Chains A and B, each alone.
Chain A
Amino acid sequence: MAGVVRGTLAARRRREVLLGIAILAFLAVLPLGISNVYLRGLIVLALLYAGLSQAWNILGGYCGQISLGHALYFGIGAYTSTLLFTRLGISPLLGMFAGGLFSGLAAFLVGLPCFRLSGHYYAIATLVIGMMAALLAANWDFINAAEGITISFHGESWADLAFRTAILPFHYVMLAYAALIWLIAWLIEGSRWGFFWRAVKDDVAAARSLGISIYPSKLAAAAISGAATGIGGALYAQYVGFIDPESTLDLSLSVLIALPAVVGGIGTLWGPLLGAAVLIPVQQLSVAWLGSAAGGIDLMVYGALIMALALARPEGLVSFFQARARKEAAGHG
């Protein structure tokens, strides 16, 4: 009996890993077939957001806590690694984990008061704290306030994670990041914590009745989610070479981090990746094609797309695939 059970769930998890490896392999060779530098840059950005949104998904999707302030953790990661690099010469390879650590800690600290709130109160509190941080950062001279920090370039180096013109190395950096966060989400999904968090999302009272402490569960999910977001922020800083409060702490970034998961399918393994693959190119291309010609149309396209996708597919784009899989299963049975 138990053997058969192990069969179904374990087989699904094995299938997910195999699919993950296949997608990883495909994404690894993808840039080799693309010579257009702009397009390559687009894929790099999509991979970054696939990772960031998966990080958000750990708290928002699995644990059900809709954060509208994840830019804070992104920004802390970006600033920590950048300050360590520019002021102390510490490699971003280490700096990104320091950034992750601080971001995780920040997420934990933000969670302490905010997880006493529920629903809209929580979402608004995260939004306000994120905006407050952005405002403080813009007035904090130690981090160059609103002027931002430029990461000076001293030649290409893997040890410093610095590449000026070659996008290919960053492709692999971001791919590794997205794959890492995916793997974390996959591990969580199969673990005790993952089950507890999903229980907390679905029904708090029932979760309590099974001995699950709600508050610590949310805090743990927030810390991991924040840390994973912070690492992405550090990588972004290296990729762009310049950070300021507007590009790393703004509310619009918090929304952009959450959106791929929402569009792709929240609380799912593939939603963030799928959402990023659709949303980031649309957002970037509309800026590139329309933005310069007629300011504002890019935002209109982007906004309209968000509305349309959210309304048309509330369960996310992954549901297209799930529906097909169900049909196949029904066909076999």
Chain B
Amino acid sequence: MSATLIAQVAIGGLLMGLVYAVVAAGLTLIFGLMDVVNFAHGALLMVAMYATLLIHRATGLDPLVQLPLVALLLFGAGVVIYRGLIARTLSVRVNAGMVQIFVTFGLSIFLVGAAEFLFGSDFQSINASFLGGRSLAFGAIILPWPLVASGIVALLVFLGLFLLSRTEFGHALEATREDHEAVALIGIDRDRVFGIGWGIGTASVGIAGVMLANFYYIAPDVGTNFALIAYVTVALGGFGSIFGALIAGLIIGLVEALTALFIDPALKQIGIFLIYLAVLMIRPRGLFGHL
């Protein structure tokens, strides 16, 4: 096995890890804000990928051009989900945690079913895109452009989330996550902050979905796997920590790629899970989890 191959696989893994990190960032943002684990997160990724596919077919717009459009669409979906479902679970007096888990699970099943009903369960893909088929060569290391672009966009998302945290709204987010009740006293509308938080969380997933649609197959259950990896990423990085999601995503992408290379592609996730379990033994709250 040549060093070039290993380097190529490792860099590819890190780039994929950035995509995982963006999916996980959306999840961890929502969790950190309001202690709700969104089990429909993978389904929302799937929704974003189908949206990209449909818009592409209808208008011919390249996925890259669609980025702001789909992100906005998913932002809206997040706000609607918050207003329509999640806000209701917050007023539940008994079994609130359980209700949140199963409401989002129900939503996930519903969305997957809707996709199956509308588009069938066959794998689909975007055949001709600006990035498709191009690759970037550094000497002997060759990387597909869709993956490289995904990594760049992912870094921009994290930059955006970082800048957001320094804005006034970011401070409102921070205040709300620290004390839901008290923020009302200083004139912050909790529902508004939570709603926008959901919007940003699902918009992150939307961006990941667009980039994945460039090079990944699209099917109703495509989100399951990514969601699973996102849960592992979030738990590994620490619930609520955006920075943790970034680091954990990179670790997971790298471990996955190397497991596939050195052991067996069919078992690539086992490597991830083992890392996850090992970290949980040593740091039950994840690498950067506070609480």
Contacts and interface: CB of A to CB of B under 8 A. Distances in A.
> Do A and B share a direct contact in the complex (Cβ within 8 angstroms)?
yes
B108 interface: yes
Contact of B88 (A129, A306, A311): A311
Nearest to B232: A128
Contact of B116 (A121, A296, A301, A306): A296
Chain B interface main SS type: helix
Interface string B205-221: 00000000000000010
A120 B32 CA distance: 12
B285 A120 contact: no
Interface string A116-145: 110111011101110110011001000000
Contacts of B121: 295-296
Interface in B242-291: 264, 266-267, 269-270, 273, 276-277, 280-281, 284-286
Contact of A120 (B31, B88, B224, B280): B31
A113 B105 contact: no
A106 B242 CA distance: 34
B284 A117 contact: yes
Interface string A296-318: 11111111111110110011100
B120 A295 contact: yes
A135 B267 contact: yes
Interface residues of A, number: 45
Given A120-B37, A135-B269, A314 B96 contact: yes
Contact of B273 (A132, A255, A303, A307): A132
Given A306-B106, A310-B103, A315-B94, A299 B266 contact: no
A296 B117 contact: yes
Contact of B276 (A128, A136, A297, A308): A128
A266 interface: yes
Contacts of B128: none
A259 interface: yes
B156 interface: no
A311 B95 CA distance: 11
B89 interface: yes
A310 B117 contact: no
Contacts of A132: 269-270, 273
A131 B99 contact: no
Contacts of B92: 311, 314
B232 to A, nearest CB: 6
A296 B114 contact: yes
Nearest to B110: A303
A300 B267 contact: no
B113 A117 contact: no
A330 interface: no
A129 B272 CA distance: 11
B97 interface: yes
A66 B103 contact: no
Given A302-B109, A303-B107, A303-B111, A296 B273 contact: no
B112 interface: yes
Nearest to A315: B94
A127 B231 contact: yes
A222 interface: no
B266 A125 contact: no
Contacts of B54: none
B106 A303 contact: yes
Contacts of B120: 295
A25 interface: no
A119 B291 CA distance: 12
Given A117-B284, A299-B116, A300-B114, A123 B101 contact: yes
Interface of B: 31, 35, 37, 85, 88-89, 92-99, 101-103, 105-118, 120-121, 220, 224, 228, 231-232, 234-235, 239, 264, 266-267, 269-270, 273, 276-277, 280-281, 284-286
8 contacts: A66-B98, A121-B280, A131-B228, A132-B270, A294-B117, A303-B109, A303-B113, A307-B110
Lowest 5 A-B CB distances belong to which pairs? A299-B113, A303-B110, A296-B117, A296-B116, A306-B106
